[in-house]
Copies of this chain bind each other. A is one copy, B any other.
């Protein structure tokens, strides 16, 4: 845990929106020289603030028009059940995110499909055959907005 001043927050805000921005460009935007900005970035990186810079692509443009969130409750929760489930779910290509959670569900999955009938195929042949699956709950994504959170 590191403490940030206002300039660091502005830097993180900018980087959250465009991870490919250079130190020079960021410095110009913040009224900082290139080396000063670079040193701040280096400090943040060494503090372990950056988990990675992953490109997010337009699923629609790639032909995946349907995104569904699945809440999964396991039927049995022994250790082997959990491990079996995790191993099996990671082999499903349509699953983009696996979140292990505590609450009404045990797992939350983000699943993409080409269309609704394609999703039905994934659900019946992939999801419902997973080992140990109990209750399922589905929510279809209509729209989403990502914000910066309090991290900036």
Question: Hey, which bits of chain A sit against chain B, CB under 8 A?
Answer: 1-2, 4, 12, 15-20, 47-64, 69, 71, 90, 93-105, 108, 112, 137-151
Contacts and interface: CB of A to CB of B under 8 A. Distances in A.
B16 A54 contact: yes
A18 B102 contact: no
Nearest to A98: B145
A6 B149 CA distance: 37
Contacts of A18: 52-54
A-B pairs with the 5 shortest C-beta distances?
A103-B139, A19-B55, A101-B139, A96-B149, A102-B140
Contacts of A143: 99-100
Given A2-B62, A96-B149, A149-B94, A55 B16 contact: yes
